[in-house]
Structure 1
Amino acid sequence: MARRPDLVGLTVLAILSVRPGHPYELHRFIVDTHKDYVTGLPRSLYHAVEKLAAEELITPVETSREGRRPERTIYEITGEGRRELATRLRRLVETPGAEHRVFTAAVSLLGVLPVPQALQALRTRAAAVDGTLTALNGQLEAMKDGGLPEVLALELDYERAVGEAELAWIRKVAARLESGELAWTGTVNRALMEQALQEEE
């Protein structure tokens, strides 16, 4: 059985690739930006931080305490963490799977990849989805030729409709990236994170 992707750890790496932060800030950012695919908060987040630190993908850089607040450890991503983030994210974008939630998560973090890598990952996925659609069309045609009632193939027809919609969306996003209409150079940056992660009064 294939291992489920660690979406919480991936999200932590993506956030820390922009700026260092402590788990409470990461938690707030995930909630405030509606990363709803991250479940089990805050426990899953603290577990992910511990695991990533043990794997040396992130490292503690500072520990501080303000007033009566609990002690907070600030983490930053390591060079190995950046490489792992890019590898994991590209793999999730490139490889269609049964869970649409996984692709949603990958798309929500796509801006941490350089545009050429994101574009290549989208093109790879488009080719895979196109291949799946070709196979589905073949199955549906064979069932039709075999005289089977259409109602027995509704699930395949549904899968085809979903695949066609996804392929159209991927191609549209890829075309916008290629033309420069959609770009994120300079948009996924520290200033944006600072704004989103402002401490409560």
Structure 2
Amino acid sequence: MARRPDLVGLTVLAMLSVRASHPYELHRFIVDTHKDYVTGLPRSLYHAVERLAGEELIVPVETSREGRRPERTVYEITDEGRRELATRIRALLENPGAERRTFTAVVSLIGVLPVPDALRALRTRAATIEGALAAMSGHLKAMRDSGLPDVLMIEVDYERAVSEAELTWLHQLIARLESGELDWPSTVRQELLGQVLGES
């Protein structure tokens, strides 16, 4: 069985690629931006931070304490962490085989990639889905030609309808990126993170 993607770790890497933060700040950002695919908070987040630090994808850069509060360690992403993040995001964007929850999570983190890389990954996904749709249509036709009743083909028809909807959405997203309507320069990403965390 294929290992499930580490969506919590991926989210931590994505947020730290914007700026160094401590786990409590990351927790607030996840909640405030409704990253609902991140479950088991706050424990899953702290475990992900520990795991990523153990793999040297993130490193502690500062520890501070305010009053009687527990110490807070600020982490930043390493160069290896940035490479790993980009590799994972590209692979999950390109591969339609991942479950839809995973794709939703990855799309929410797409801004960590340069726009040209995101476009390439989305075009690859769209081409794969187009090929799968052609195969499904051929399969449905063969089943109908063999005399099978429609009720025995409902699941294939459903998969085709869902794939067609995703392909339409992908084409719209690609068009928005190609036209420049949607982009994410790093300065804007930094400011947006500050806004979400309530900073000036």
TM range (shorter): over 0.9
Residue pairs, 1:62-77, within 5 angstroms: 62-77=62-77
The CA deviation at 1:175 is 1.1
In structure 1, the gaps of 5 or more residues are none
In structure 2, give the amino acid aligned to 1:87. T
Give the secondary-structure state (helix, strand or coil) at the position aligned to 1:165: helix
Give the secondary-structure state (helix, strand or coil) at the position aligned to 1:61: strand
The CA deviation at 1:101 is 0.2
The CA deviation at 1:191 is 2.1
Are residues 1:92 and 2:86 paired? no
Residue pairs, 1:1-201, within 5 angstroms: 1-186=1-186, 188-198=188-198
Q: Distance in 2 between matches of 1:48 and 1:142?
A: 47
Q: Distance in 1 between matches of 2:98 and 2:116?
A: 26
Q: Distance in 2 between matches of 1:124 and 1:135?
A: 17
CA offsets, 1:134-161, max 9 Å, x none? 1111110011000000011001000000
Identity of aligned residues (%): 75
CA contact (8 A) 2:89 2:110 kept: yes
What TM-score, normalized to structure 1? 0.96
Q: Distance in 2 between matches of 1:85 and 1:119?
A: 17
Change (3 A) 1:134 1:45: same
What TM-score, normalized to structure 2? 0.96
In structure 1, give the amino acid aligned to 2:6. D
Q: Distance in 2 between matches of 1:79 and 1:105?
A: 23
CA offsets, 1:90-148, max 9 Å, x none? 00000012510000001000011100000000000001111111111111001100000
The CA deviation at 1:190 is 2.1
- Equivalent pairs counted in the alignment come to 199
In structure 2, the gaps of 5 or more residues are none
CA contact (8 A) 1:18 1:188 kept: no
Q: Distance in 2 between matches of 1:198 and 1:74?
A: 18
CA contact (8 A) 1:112 1:188 kept: no
